[in-house]
Amino acid sequence: MGRPKYFTPAEVAAHNTAADLWVSLLGKVCDLTPLMDQYKGDALLLPIMECAGKDISFWFDPETKDVQKHVDPLTNCVRYYTPRGRFVHIPPAGPRSDWASAIGPPWWRDKTYEVGLLTSKTRWIRIINTLTSQEQLLEVCSEETLAEILQRYLHYNSHACSYTWKHDGAPLDMSRTLSENDVLDDDPELEQLRLDRDLFTPAILLHFNDDLTEG
């Protein structure tokens, strides 16, 4: 099993249309575009579409991993709690002849929709190419290794694999995260001191190795 892919909230938020719809829930990132296609035109999609690109963890019970429930004051029965309206795979409140109960796992339990995990915290780093003096500000996931961060940076420098990555003069272990490489997250301390974290963004220096071979 490979490592899961981590996403920032901004990356999830970019998928906010019915033709490309992602949500995050309980730490998971789900691509619900196939669900939109399958139930196209169904009014039960509206609550999901209203939350396209957003985190909907508050819809769910973190212990049961199921949709929140409550006691219906009219029937005194336990029902799913859907304040934004009933959505796909939520059964109707009463008996219905047009409701098919044999639907398999509901979409929030169906792993085929999962594309990765939502980062617990994002970090900003400055990547400075010492050969060209170009600098790039990059938002990354705290769980990502330097090798995975490099994949993000390839968008800005396709030859990034031809550089040695260093911090404070020491080469970085590309198989480890920023924190594991002693590139510490000072955000809590900066917040306590009321200092602007943008002024203290850690810098990663790229030192050119040999030739511009593509990684």
Q: Does one domain contain both 106 and 140?
A: no
At 95 the pLDDT is: 66
In whole numbers, what is the pLDDT of the chain averaged over residues? 90
User: At 72, is the pLDDT very low, low, confident or very high (cuts 50, 70, 90)?
Assistant: confident
At 99 the pLDDT is: 63
Task: Report the number of distinct structural domains present in the chain.
Answer: 2
Q: Is residue 143 part of a domain?
A: yes
Specify whether the backbone of 26 is left (phi greater than 0), alpha (psi in -120 to 50) or beta.
left
3-state SS assignment for residue 146: helix
User: Which residue's structure tokens are 């198989």?
Assistant: 175
Sign of torsion over alpha carbons 182, 150, 12, 29: negative
Q: Does one domain contain both 11 and 94?
A: yes
* Nearest CA-CA partner of 215 in 144, 122, 153: 153
3-state SS assignment for residue 135: strand
User: At 74, is the pLDDT very low, low, confident or very high (cuts 50, 70, 90)?
Assistant: confident
How many separate helices (H) and strands (E) can be counted in the chain?
Answer: 5, 12
Average pLDDT over residues 63-82: 90
User: At 91, is the pLDDT very low, low, confident or very high (cuts 50, 70, 90)?
Assistant: confident
CA dist 141 and 67 (Å) reads: 27
Under 8 Å between Cβ of 129 and 206: yes
At 215 the pLDDT is: 46
* pLDDT higher than 80, residue 168: yes
Q: Does one domain contain both 81 and 69?
A: yes
Q: Does one domain contain both 109 and 11?
A: yes
Q: Is residue 145 part of a domain?
A: yes
